Amino acid sequence: MNVTLLLQLAVSGFLLGGVYSLIALGLSLIFGVMKVINFAHGEMMVWGMYVAYTLLLWTGVDPFLSFLVSAACLFLLGYALQRTVVNRIIDFPEAMQVLPLVGMGMVFENSARLVWGPDYISPRSRFSLSSLSLGDLMIDVPKLLAFSLAIIITIAVLLFLKKTDTGKAIRAAADNRTGALLVGTDVNRIYAVCFGIGAACVGAAGGLLVPIMPLSPHIGAPFTLLSFIIVILGGMGSLSGAMVGGLIIGVAESIGPELITSLFHGAGLDLDFPHTMKQVVSFFILIVIMLLRPQGIFGGRRG
């Protein structure tokens, strides 16, 4: 086994994991407050990517700046989605909540395809292909930037929830809906704002991913699943859990295929575990965690 390669992969996975954390934070926030799983999460991220991409194309503004516009657009989209669809399904049985949001995911995915076409695009931005070297390790500058910004946004969102009045109202509505109603909170507005913030997180993450990975309308669904896995791993509704879970999954997906391949070879099998199967690693983690510790690493009780 090549240790330098493994370390290289781990670093790169860790950096990507920071962005994963931000995506999962959005999902976890929405779930924590409304007990609704946003099955259109990845597709909304793709819209965030396309907003940043279009701005890059028209105005030349770098995605590392225009992710703020993505976040704002997705906030509005999330707010509207909550008001029109999600608010009506909050009291549905859990399983029936899945279907309308799966439907909205199809709408987002295929409307993106209508607008931007089905092909993969890898836009060239200012920092693409530049890297730093740290001893034997090469660190991708766009990944490092995306990671740092994602972590800053995550901390900002957590501070917002802790310190501001709206943030406190959101946490109150999450803890006790009836109680929040009784003290005069406009719970419906709070829910919509919260869904908007969750969507803005994933929109910002989408913008940050533009310089890192090729975009196409169809890459959303795997990210929806990825963010579930992270949220379940960290613990449903636990925001710090989402952060740690994202980093763990980022590293696991990055070094998993390499490790498994060398395990296969060590056992004398002539089998490779290609990198294109990296999702199998996280699905495996998902199954194991659901069976053995369904409340997740940080979850106190069952979600």
Q: Closest CB to another protein among 93 and 266?
A: 93
Contact 40, 97 (CB under 8 A): no
CB of 114 to another protein, least distance (A): 6
Q: Going by C-beta distance under 8 Å and a sequence separation of 6 or more, which residues neighbour residue 106?
A: 43
Comparison of 154 and 224: residue with beta carbon closer to another protein? 224
| Contact flag: residue 10 with another protein (CB under 8 A) | no
Query: Is residue 7 involved in binding another protein (CB under 8 A)?
Result: no
E strand or H helix at 51, and its extent? helix 41-59
Using CB under 8 A, which of 54, 110, 128, 131 touches another protein? Answer: 110
Q: Give the residue among 275, 242, 244, 238 at the shortest CA–CA distance from 260.
A: 275
Q: What share of the chain is helix, strand, coil (3-state, %, to 5)?
A: 75, 5, 20
Binding mask 224-243 for another protein (x = CB under 8 A): -x--x---x-----------
| Residue 280 touching another protein (CB under 8 A) | yes
Residue 148 φ then ψ, to 5°: -60, -45
Element (H, E) at 63: helix 63-81
Would you say 95 or 183 has its CB closer to another protein?
A: 95
Residue among 5, 107, 156, 269 that touches another protein (CB under 8 A):
107
Give residue 188's identity as a one-letter amino acid code. N
Q: Which of 3, 58, 91, 114 binds another protein (CB under 8 A)?
A: 114
Please list, in sequence order, all residues whose beta carbon lies within 8 angstroms of the beta carbon of residue 218, skipping any fewer than 6 positions away.
109, 113, 118
- Given 217, 237, 246, 250, the residue binding another protein (CB under 8 A): 217
Contacts of 240 (CB under 8 A, 6+ apart): 158, 234, 298
Q: Which residues within the stretch 65-94 sit at the binding site for another protein (CB under 8 A)? A: 85, 88-89, 92-94
Residues that bind another protein (CB under 8 A): 37, 85, 88-89, 92-100, 102-107, 109-111, 113-114, 118, 217, 221, 225, 228, 232, 274, 276-277, 279-280, 283-284, 286-287, 290-291, 294
